[in-house]
Chains A and B, each alone.
Chain A
Amino acid sequence: MLKIENLHASVEEKNILKGLNLNIQPGEVHAIMGPNGAGKSTLGYILSGREGYEVSEGSVEFNGEDLLDMDVEERARKGLFLAFQYPVEIPGVSNMEFMKEAVNAMREQRGETPLSAAEFLKKAKEACKQVQLPLDFLKRGVNEGFSGGEKKRNELMQMILLEPTLCILDESDSGLDIDALQVVANGVNSQRDGKRSFIVITHYQRLLDYIEPDHVHILAKGKVVKSGDASLAKAVEKEGYAFLGQDNTEEAGA
């Protein structure tokens, strides 16, 4: 489904990714862990197509197509979804309007007819319920005045509505208390259907107690330095990133 080969990328002329490889099959959950500054969020942004990131080398194939050649919206329409670490507030555009437009853009891509307002509302209400967001959040401006946890749940609500095939969760656990963490984890688990794939970017092992990964990769200095199964995450939790060596852990403070 997703094949990243020897990816080199920079932002503002600073090299962040330095030869990253990753191969994800349908239905798999991959966790990406690593110290601050390792390039975890950069990877998410590059996959989603955010401007300002320069890919100098390497390739990314998404379902056999060149992902890096696509516009941001095209990637989304082909099934890629990035849940943001810091969701942006958009006053004036309601959650409802935002998601209706997005859902119908997806439907158009699949050759389906757009949902009517009533049909959409029904789906949106269900999604709200699933992530435990009050229904009046649909009427509010996107993330406008939402708490940190509400913003994360709102990202998840979008994921549920858009039904992507590859979901990238960028530190969806950061800033969440244990209850909110479970809501997020349950939301993700409800979307695991054996076909949909996930990249779970996280700093801590905590989230992985609830979302069981098939593979865990440790990202440091722009590369995957170690891969393993769920036990690798537990080892990291216990021992920290010290095994990466002095040189790598320094960046944790950066």
Chain B
Amino acid sequence: MSQWLDQVIERGQAIDDWLSPVRTQALESLRQSQWPNRRTEAWKYTSLTPVEKLELSPTTAADNAAVSDIDGLNSLNLVFVDGKLVTDIDNLPLPAGLHIHSLRAMPASLQETARELFGTIKPPRHLFGLVNDALAEDGLFIDIDAGAHIERPLRLVNFSSAGKESHHRVLVRLGTGSTATVIEHGQGHDSSMSTGFAEYELGEKAHLEHYRLAMHTHQAIHIGGCHFSLHQESRLNSTLIGFGSQLSRLDVDIIHSGEHAKAKFNAVYLLGESEHFDLHSTIEHAVPNGTTEENARGIIGDKAKAVFNGRIHIHRDAQKTLAELNNRNLLLSRRGQINTKPELEIYADDVQCAHGATVAEIEEEALYCLRSRGISRSQALVMLNFGFIQELVNQMPNQALAQWLQPQLRDRFVEMEVK
């Protein structure tokens, strides 16, 4: 047990609100948890030393952070600063069928429903998920009525500022046949620690377009997750963009709970300097006839370190499952590191599955070809790097978001040293 975790439990015990019944369970699990070390499989390549060394203060007052709009996105922005919701959600122009509630001020009539979502999709094995269960006092419950088509993307910005520790939680429920776009956007570069977990319940035939822009950088520690439960014939299209920081870790769980659901999950991570990024994904095919396509691509420069663990678990009854998982990495420097582990665990006999992982370096011949047409070496590297991830960026359904991302992704390459 670490001092940090002791302190989490102590603080969690002191919270008394409508979520206390679920917090109590989480606290009990935390008391029985081992603080992960390098022998803990889920944390084998990610050291928690930066968390152990933390001397941060839980947030007291939140400052307003200016969040700039993304051109052409026309999103409804919901802003958290250090875990505190600063957007006045009571005065938002919400379209019909969309209901947004703050976890801090949950109407009594909805508390039961929200409690049922809280912590039920997110598997209890994620230690920091339990920490979030215990400490997240602020967050959102986004409820979309059956049949509602929410055109405007919901953009949830989570900004972490210097010296702050924060925990926020997002619950999203998509009613039968509804559609929505949710963007989770993490930001911050100063020394800070945040956890942010989101749980999504996709009702029958619901369609969710989802983005997690994990853009905490430098000294910002962020540990979080996205967890999806897919009911009958629902569709999930999720894209994760990961930058690295002192410590960034995300756990993604996609659970096929109903038949004929389709999940597409693309992840792109771009790391330079001494950044660290760890992505663990688990796809659970618990029922027959599900489809999953997962593509993760990463570029690792300088002394950066990436961890990818992608697991597909096909339960005994999940016949006729189609599942593909592919992870490709480009190492730009000899000191960069990638630990990749695709895992297939199949208990059904009539399924189609494929998985693969590759690690490559920049092709000298391609570099020479570009340079031989007058393009500078540094620009050629940017083009080749960008080419490696372009395919996944192009697959993002939201063009405005893709356009906004392009220069930021390019800037990452420009900063990366290639040796």
Q: Which of B372, B388, B391 contacts A49 (CB 8 A)?
A: B372
19 new A-B contacts, CB < 8 A, other than A92-B387, A105-B375, are: A48-B372, A51-B368, A73-B375, A73-B377, A75-B372, A76-B371, A81-B373, A88-B363, A88-B365, A92-B384, A92-B388, A92-B389, A93-B383, A93-B387, A98-B373, A98-B375, A101-B379, A105-B379, A162-B373
Residue contact A73 to B391, C-beta cutoff 8 Å? no
Docked complex Cα distance between A82 and B380 (Å): 17
Docked complex Cα distance between A158 and B366 (Å): 15
With contact pairs A76-B372, A76-B374, A98-B370 given, residues A93 and B384 touching in the complex (Cβ less than 8 Å): yes
Docked complex Cα distance between A73 and B380 (Å): 10
Q: Which residue of A lies closest to B379 (CB)?
A: A101
Tell me how many residue pairs across A and B have CB atoms closer than 8 Å: 80
> A50: CB under 8 A from chain B?
yes
Q: Which residue of A lies closest to B377 (CB)?
A: A73
Residue contact A141 to B387, C-beta cutoff 8 Å? yes
> B45: CB under 8 A from chain A?
no
Docked complex Cα distance between A162 and B375 (Å): 12
Residue contact B369 to A90, C-beta cutoff 8 Å? yes
List of B residues within 8 angstroms of A49 by Cβ: 372
Residue contact B373 to A158, C-beta cutoff 8 Å? yes
Residue contact B388 to A162, C-beta cutoff 8 Å? no
Interface residues of B in 348-392 (CB under 8 A from A): 363-366, 368-377, 379-380, 383-384, 386-391
Please report A residues at the B interface, Cβ cutoff 8 Å. 48-51, 71-73, 75-77, 81-82, 84, 87-88, 90-93, 97-99, 101-102, 105-106, 109, 141-142, 158, 162
| Whole-angstrom distance between the Cβ of A199 and the nearest chain B Cβ | 15
| Interface residues of B, dominant DSSP | helix
Docked complex Cα distance between A101 and B371 (Å): 11
Residue contact B374 to A73, C-beta cutoff 8 Å? yes
Q: Which residue of B lies closest to A84 (CB)?
A: B369
With contact pairs A92-B388, A93-B384, A93-B387 given, residues A101 and B365 touching in the complex (Cβ less than 8 Å): no
Docked complex Cα distance between A99 and B375 (Å): 9
Residue contact A50 to B375, C-beta cutoff 8 Å? no
List of A residues within 8 angstroms of B389 by Cβ: 92
Residue contact B383 to A97, C-beta cutoff 8 Å? yes
List of A residues within 8 angstroms of B376 by Cβ: 73, 105
Residue contact A51 to B364, C-beta cutoff 8 Å? yes
Q: Which of B364, B366, B377, B379 contacts A90 (CB 8 A)?
A: B366
Docked complex Cα distance between A101 and B368 (Å): 15
Q: Which residue of B lies closest to A161 (CB)?
A: B373
Q: Which of B363, B377, B383 contacts A98 (CB 8 A)?
A: B383
| Whole-angstrom distance between the Cβ of B153 and the nearest chain A Cβ | 27
Docked complex Cα distance between A88 and B367 (Å): 10
List of A residues within 8 angstroms of B375 by Cβ: 73, 98, 101-102, 105
List of A residues within 8 angstroms of B372 by Cβ: 48-50, 72-73, 75-76, 81-82
Docked complex Cα distance between A123 and B364 (Å): 29
List of B residues within 8 angstroms of A102 by Cβ: 370, 373-375
Residue contact A88 to B366, C-beta cutoff 8 Å? yes
Q: Which of B369, B374, B380, B390 contacts A88 (CB 8 A)?
A: B369
Docked complex Cα distance between A98 and B391 (Å): 16
Residue contact A77 to B383, C-beta cutoff 8 Å? no
Q: Which residue of A lies closest to B297 (CB)?
A: A92
Q: Which residue of A lies closest to B364 (CB)?
A: A51
List of A residues within 8 angstroms of B365 by Cβ: 88
